[in-house]
Structure 1
Amino acid sequence: MKILYHHRIGSKDGQYVHIEEMVAALRRAGHIVEVVGPEGFEAQDFGGESGLVAALKARIPGAAYELLELGYNSLDYRRLARAIVRFQPDVIYERYNLSLLSGVLARQRFGIPLLLEVNAPLYAERSAYGGLALPRLARWAESRAWQGADHVFAVTEVLAARIVAAGVPRARLSVTPNGIDAQRFHRVTDEAPYKQALGLAGRTVLGFVGFAREWHGLDGVVEMLAADAGVHDLHCLIVGDGPACEGLRAQAATRGVADRLTITGIVGRNDIMQYIGAFDIALVPAVVAYASPLKLFEYMACGRAIVAPDQPNITEILTDGQDALLFAPGSRTGFTDAVRRLITDHALRARLAEAAHASCVARDLSWSANARQVGSVAERLCADR
């Protein structure tokens, strides 16, 4: 099947990982995939952001920027239409972005089924965190995109419920959580070689992967390092970067544990497992209510003992006491108590780690499984045309 993958992301970050992994999985499944996105995107380095987009956000009023976002459809639609004429796809697979309506327009003109992947309710997200100058326009655009697709793929049941509430029939919706590539991530049965390679031999490693923000609460982990006073030889390993990192470094220096905190900066996808393999305890300190955290599946695939919040989008995947320790969302005490329990209880740590990997395998939480589901829906839609 010929699949035209359409997106509007401007930075090579976690969004790009999802695109790269899904495209690769679809191709492994035997589909022919062509990707259509903003010009110059592929030339960026991992972690890079479009300089033009960043400059526009900083220099023009919010209403003008949001109108430009909507106006982008004129340019993008022409690019998408040219690709359709040239490539002759069976379906369009689009990564949802607020105000991106090119796929809906192409579906109407060319009669090609549109599959829409939704990773976040961006109207609600931007209203809550970034602000919207034209909220009614944004809400209309989101509803138009969701309802205009032939089938929608949401990353959690929590997000799926929001999409149904917006008017999309449940029969036109599937849940495909993030996953892993088994060629990149596999079970680790001995952390020692990974720790040795990082200069962390003998230490109990508390690990986090991703873009660290203040609301993740990683300052609580630094306080644990200080309170431990070397009893358990703790070390915090943050694999990534983010706005919280400077403050964490300063806090660690003030508390006298700077030598027990490592922040790697941006790490290439092929190297991440070399760090996760050194984790004794894998941390998900906080997560938004509708998200499917990529780190969670990487931790599971590597067989790490996980601490995560006890909230619906997490319990779709994990079970407290069975394949993770869960704590009340937002409870710093609950989080630190769960981590301390795993620091001292080695048997529980080993059992949860083994069970996390087993759950990942049993449920086939992989990009390949997601690609099979997308392919099945695409074939049905094409057969019904």
Structure 2
Amino acid sequence: MHIEEMIDAMRALGHEVKVVAPLVNQGAGRMGGGVDWVHRLKAMLPKAVYELMELAYSVVAYRNLMAAAHDFKPDVIYERYNLFLLAGLMAKRSLGVPLLLEVNAPLVFERSQHSGGLALTSLARWAEGRAWQGADAVLPVTVVLAGYVRAYGVPPERIHVIPNGINRAHFANAPSTAKAKAALGLQGRVVLGFTGFVRDWHGVDRIVDWMGSPGAPKNTHLLVVGDGPVRAELEAQARHLGLAERVTFTGVIHRDRVPAQVAAFDIALQPAVTPYASPLKLMEYLVLGKAVIAPATPNLQEVLCDGVNALLFDETQAGSLEDALSRLCSDGALRERLAQGATDTIDRLELTWLGNARKVLRLMGVSA
């Protein structure tokens, strides 16, 4: 979504964008479309072999970039960072044009922590350092993530934090909360909402447990806009607690349907967060004016302020999330105040894709 929205925003501002990407993803029609064979290959090969193949793919990507540049003659290369991918850096040097590198995660750290880790850690660190140090501008999505970039020795003047944003037009026709609830048959409920691909670390199970506790209002309803690997576990948990009728999963839905679903939320949930991320779901919550509950982590506090546009809890303190839920469910005036603060945040911090595109263009010395 990030890269697609940036492309659309740059074009809307009058600039030409040539997209160079793996052919399996072009026109696939769904996120990650056409790459199931890659996941199967990764599972079959020794990790070290697969990682060497990732690095070798830079040569393929470089040739594709240079072929595209032959006719397009770009003024700048804008790349979404991926581990072991050095094609943009190679093309920048051959073409003599600036490279702007969008960074959404410190992938050496992230991959070391998940999926069994990395086999060639030293090579991965070298590749990440080369990519970040060689870019004319590195664009991390949070100040926290910028710290990872600085640790590689990238000069501060080449690091520019640009959080994720929102496309206002995509949410302009969202229904009112009352109409959205009516369409879903949730009238009279306090709707707790979560969007995205639900994993165990998201902490949605804590929401279900709280709903089953004696102190939770009986008119709460959990609406999960999305799907995920823990859906069956959460549904089983809800049945065990006698909450089966109070928990709804939409399953995977088209992006165009998301605003009408999120519009039904009274309280928007961010129970946990990766410490360096700029969550896309948070921007959706804010633009639709939802009362947000989130942990008081440094990356989220770059956007959220307790009592102004969110109710923040201390994730290190047992019961803090549950106390925040009880407080917000019982205080309609607080929900309204936070909802207004959420809406104001988008304009105050210019958290739109058009705003992000303007910032990027200014870095290039180009008028937006």
Shift in Å, 1:224: 2.3
Which structure 1 residue ranges, 5 or more long, are not aligned?
1-16
2:206 is equivalent to residue 220 of structure 1 = yes
Is the 8 Å Cα contact of residues 153 and 175 (structure 1) preserved in structure 2?
yes
Structure 1 residues 177 and 230, CA gap change in structure 2 (3 angstroms): closer
Give the drift of 1:190. 3.9
TM-superposed CA distance for 1:189, in Å, is: 8.7
Partner of 2:22: 38
Partner of 1:239: 225
User: What is the aligned partner in structure 1 of residue 5 from structure 2?
Assistant: 21
Paired with 1:236 and 1:340, the residues of 2 have a C-alpha distance of 14
Matches within 5 A, 1:87-126: 87-126=72-111
Can you list the C-alpha shifts for 1:125-158, whole angstroms capped at 9, x where unaligned? 1111230000000000000000111111110011
Provide closer, same or farther for how the CA distance between residues 260 and 47 of structure 1 changes in structure 2, counting only shifts above 3 A.
Answer: farther
Q: Distance in 1 between matches of 2:60 and 2:312?
A: 46
- Deviation per residue, 1:144-186 (Å, 9 max, x gap): 0001111111100111121112111110111110010110125
Question: 1:69 aligns to what?
Answer: 54
The structure in which a higher percent of residues are strand is 1
Alignment of 1:134-153 (within 5 A): 134-153=120-139
1:203 paired to 2:189: yes
1:347 and 2:345 are equivalent in the alignment: no
Q: Confirm or deny: 8 A CA contact 1:188 1:303 kept in the other structure.
A: no
Q: C-alpha separation between the residues in 1 aligned to 2:343 and 2:171? A: 11
- The structure-2 alpha-carbon separation of the partners of 1:57 and 1:315, relative to structure 1 and needing over 3 Å to count, comes to same
CA contact (8 A) 2:269 2:292 kept: yes
Task: Note if contact 1:238-1:264 (Cα within 8 Å) is conserved in structure 2.
Answer: yes
Tell me how far apart the structure 2 counterparts of residues 44 and 324 of structure 1 sit (CA, whole Å). 37
Task: Decide which of 126, 129, 143 is 1:157's aligned counterpart.
Answer: 143
CA contact under 8 A between 2:193 and 2:265: conserved in structure 1?
A: yes
Are the aligned partners of 2:202 and 2:271 in contact in 1 as well (CA < 8 Å)?
Answer: yes
User: Closer, same or farther in 2 for the Cα pair 1:288/1:53, shift >3 Å?
Assistant: same
Q: Which amino acid aligns with 1:68?
A: M
**Residues 199 and 230 in structure 2, CA contact (< 8 A), matched pair in contact too:** yes
Deviation at 1:204, TM superposition (A): 0.7
Q: 1:11 — aligned with what?
A: none
Q: What is the number of residues matched between the two proteins? A: 365
> Aligned runs of 1:1-385 on 2, under 5 Å?
17-49=1-33, 50-130=35-115, 131-186=117-172, 190-227=176-213, 231-331=217-317, 333-379=319-365
Is the contact between residue 187 and residue 301 of structure 1 (CA under 8 Å) also seen in structure 2? no
Percent identity, please: 50
Change (3 A) 1:40 1:187: closer
Q: Does the C-alpha gap of structure 1 residues 351 and 232 become closer, same or farther in structure 2, counting only changes over 3 Å? A: farther
What SS is found at the alignment partner of 1:237? Answer: strand
CA contact (8 A) 1:187 1:303 kept: no
Change in CA separation of 1:112 and 1:89 when aligned onto 2, cut-off 3 Å: same
What's the C-alpha RMSD, in Å, of the aligned pairs?
A: 1.7
TM-score normalised by length of structure 1: 0.91
TM-score, with length taken from structure 2: 0.96
Partners of 1:180 and 1:367 within 8 A in 2? yes
Alpha-carbon distance in structure 1 between the residues aligned to 2:253 and 2:90: 38
- Which whole-Å CA distance do the structure 1 matches of 2:174 and 2:80 have between them? 33
Work out whether residues 25 and 32 of structure 2, in 8 Å CA contact, stay in contact via their aligned partners in 1: no
